[in-house]
Amino acid sequence: MTPLLIAFLCALMVATSFLSGLFGMAGGMILIGVLLAVMPLPAAMVLHAVTQMASNGWRALLWRKHIRWTAVGAYVSGCGLALLLWSIERYVPSKPVALILLGVTPFLIRLIPSRLQPNPESIVQGILYGSVCMALILLTGIAGPLIDTYFLGGKLDRREIVATKATCQIVGHAMKLVYFGGIIDQAASLDPMLAVLAVVASMAGTTLAKRFLEAMTDKQYRTWAGRLIMAIACYFVIHGTYLLIAES
């Protein structure tokens, strides 16, 4: 990896961590899309896991007073169940499939009947969404649109959403690192220096976003978060479809 590419990735990590620090979402979707474009899929998954663990860990620490621990416990239980089952098959998708799966998820979420709308304060839903989100993380690198919709569907305020989702994401990405870095055995493909730079860049972007989040209203937060999710999802569908056609 050239110095110019490393510098570009570090700048991207600062920017995407800022975006995630502001909305608690979207930054990871952009980052994994770029990483999948410039790196082999397993290596991209490992680097993304390291970056997102740092970003979400620092975010959870900054907003620790707003974490809803019951929701975290239910979600993490579902993640553990999915990792156990997924480790048996050890499936690794192609890049086009991963990108298309990333993109179609938010559109599928909109098909859910209103009576079944997500509630992050429900233990049963937490386990269910944790299982499905973990499966998506192992398929595509993130559970972005699904976990975002899950937390936006309840009555948590913007600080509780950012703090609780960040705590859940720490575990999800840690399990992804175990899967791709241990079970799939690709840890050696990640440059240690790049991993260190990724952690620093992620913490910097997250710290910069804190003041902006405090200045926003809950209405502004929910409106712009929804728009970001749909815009990025459309891009992933188009890009993944293009790559799929090009490979055929």
The pLDDT value recorded for residue 190 is 66
pLDDT tens digits, one per residue of 227-242:
877 787 788 788 888 8
Work out the angle at residue 29's Cα, subtended by the Cα atoms of residues 53 and 85, and round it to the nearest 5 degrees. Answer: 65
Is the predicted pLDDT of residue 70 greater than 80, yes or no? yes
The domain tally of the chain equals 1
Question: Smallest Cα–Cα separation from 102: which of 240, 243, 247, 8?
Answer: 240
DSSP 183: I
In the chain, the largest separation of any two C-alpha atoms, in whole Å, equals 52
Non-local (6+) Cβ contacts of 217 within 8 A are none
User: Mean pLDDT throughout 79-91?
Assistant: 80
Which pair of structure tokens corresponds to residue 168?
Answer: 């859940």
Virtual torsion, Cα 115, 121, 122, 126, nearest 10 deg = 110
Contact 194, 6 (CB under 8 A): yes
Q: What percent of the chain is modeled with pLDDT above 90?
A: 8
pLDDT band at residue 25 using 50, 70 and 90 as cut-offs: low
Question: Smallest Cα–Cα separation from 106: which of 168, 139, 148, 136?
Answer: 148
pLDDT band at residue 189 using 50, 70 and 90 as cut-offs: low
Is the predicted pLDDT of residue 209 greater than 90, yes or no? no
CA 114 to chain centre: 25
More confident residue, 66 or 146: 66
More confident residue, 31 or 140: 31
The pLDDT value recorded for residue 188 is 46
Mean residue pLDDT of the chain comes to: 80
Q: What is the Cα–Cα distance from 169 to 206, expressed in whole angstroms?
A: 14
Neighbours of 69 (CB within 10 A): 9
pLDDT tens digits, one per residue of 116-164:
677 888 899 999 888 888 887 777 766 766 777 788 777 888 888 888 9
Range of the domain at 191: 3-247
Is the predicted pLDDT of residue 77 greater than 90, yes or no? yes
SS3 labels along 90-120: CCCCCHHHHHHHHHHHHHHHCCCCHHHCCCC
User: Mean pLDDT throughout 19-30?
Assistant: 72
More confident residue, 71 or 176: 71
Q: What is the Cα–Cα distance from 101 to 87, expressed in whole angstroms?
A: 20
User: How many Cα atoms are found within 13 Å in the side-chain-facing hemisphere of 29?
Assistant: 32
